[in-house]
């Protein structure tokens, strides 16, 4: 199967085919998602929470992002790989944003980058595009601004903040992003944004009217206990893993594993 590019993703907005995106952090999982035909693999900075165990995404470094993106890229035969710019790697200056995006592509093998924020990021977006790197935007509950929001809170609930989100989406589109993640905003606001711009929107907690959907893979697989309202669990992986590991522990302790059939002559 042919590798997906931004041209395929942009086309899907026109044809009305829904875009699927999932977060990926390692080679094995990326290979499975790729085999399942997922359009986009986002090496999200949620790695800081679900892989590294931090309470927020803020401690993630560029080196973390590069290392995980390399692993995911090795497993992605047809899915397009998006590297995520972590907190502190693009806010200080557009120049730094360009330099760090180049590292994510050159060393991490990302095929596009994602960065959080609105019109304050337009200069950085243009610089990254000038370096030949496609950019995915991210508006709404942008977790790198969690302290500004006072927690993980739904954004765009008032008329004023909803209007601002729509305006910011248009400015990011003008700056040249090829797609836009909308996180934790009312579905009516996400619908309005999706209808107002010509690039695809990809929702997470933003309702059914976006052009595509993304979930944190650990959430949708039920890998751990936390569950937000917008998460559908397609599997209860934690339960299955717990069962398997308890069985292994018991068999080892009882001397049942390994028997001779698992041993070399």
* Cβ proximity of 64 and 52 under 8 Å: yes
- Give the C-alpha separation, 71 to 38, whole Å: 17
Helices (H), 43-93: 47-50, 62-75
- Asked if the bond preceding 258 is cis, omega within 30° of 0, the reply is yes
> x/- binding map, residues 193-222, to ligand KIV, per CB under 6 A?
-----------x---------x-x------
How many residues of this chain bind ligand KIV (CB under 6 A)? 12
Torsion, Cα 121 143 90 167, to 10 degrees, reads 0
Region near ligand KIV per CB under 6 A, out of 37-45, 102-110, 122-130, 148-156: 37-45
With a CB cutoff of 8 Å and minimum separation 6, the contacts of 254 are: none
- Give the C-alpha separation, 24 to 65, whole Å: 11
Q: Exactly one of 180, 181, 184, 190 binds ligand KIV (CB under 6 A); which one?
A: 181
Q: Kindly identify the residues of this chain, within the stretch 136-155, that bind ligand KIV according to CB under 6 A.
A: 138
Beta strands in 101-178 (DSSP E): 112-114, 135-140
Region near ligand KIV per CB under 6 A, out of 28-36, 39-47, 105-113, 167-175: 39-47
With a CB cutoff of 8 Å and minimum separation 6, the contacts of 104 are: 62, 65, 66, 69, 83, 85, 110, 113
Q: Kindly identify the residues of this chain, within the stretch 110-139, that bind ligand KIV according to CB under 6 A.
A: 138
Q: Which is nearer to ligand KIV, 46 or 169 (CB)?
A: 46
Please tell me which residue in 183, 195, 247, 251 is annotated as part of the active site.
183
Q: Exactly one of 23, 69, 70, 213 binds ligand KIV (CB under 6 A); which one?
A: 23
With a CB cutoff of 8 Å and minimum separation 6, the contacts of 38 are: 20, 21, 22, 79
Q: Exactly one of 4, 44, 62, 90 binds ligand KIV (CB under 6 A); which one?
A: 44
Region near ligand KIV per CB under 6 A, out of 38-46, 145-153, 168-176, 243-251: 38-46
Q: Is 183 marked active-site?
A: yes
Contact residues for ligand KIV, defined by CB under 6 A? 23, 42, 44-46, 84, 138, 181, 183, 204, 214, 216
**Active site amino acids:** 183
């Amino acid at each position: 199967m042919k590798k997906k590019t931004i041209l395929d993703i942009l086309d899907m907005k026109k044809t009305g085919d829904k875009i699927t995106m999932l977060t990926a952090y390692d080679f094995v999982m990326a290979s499975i998602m790729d085999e399942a035909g997922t359009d986009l693999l986002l090496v999200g900075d949620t790695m800081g929470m679900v892989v590294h165990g931090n309470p927020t995404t803020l401690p993630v470094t560029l080196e973390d992002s590069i290392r995980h993106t390399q692993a995911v890229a090795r497993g992605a035969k047809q899915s397009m790989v998006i590297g995520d710019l972590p907190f502190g790697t693009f806010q200080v200056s557009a120049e730094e944003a360009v330099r760090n995006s180049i590292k994510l592509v050159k060393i991490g093998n990302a095929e596009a980058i994602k960065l959080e924020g609105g019109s304050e990021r337009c200069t950085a977006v243009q610089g990254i595009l000038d370096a030949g790197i496609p950019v995915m935007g991210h508006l709404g509950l942008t977790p790198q601004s969690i302290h500004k929001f006072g927690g993980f809170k739904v954004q765009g609930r008032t008329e004023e903040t909803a209007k601002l989100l729509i305006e910011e989406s248009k400015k990011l589109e003008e700056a040249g992003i090829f797609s836009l993640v909308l996180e934790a905003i009312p579905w009516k606001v996400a619908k309005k944004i999706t209808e107002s711009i010509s690039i695809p929107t990809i929702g997470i907690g933003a309702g059914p009217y976006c052009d595509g959907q993304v979930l944190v893979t650990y959430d949708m697989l039920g890998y751990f206990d936390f569950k937000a309202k917008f998460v559908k669990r397609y599997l209860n992986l934690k339960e299955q893993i717990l069962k398997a590991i308890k069985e292994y522990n018991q068999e080892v302790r009882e001397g049942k594993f390994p028997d001779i059939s698992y041993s070399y002559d």
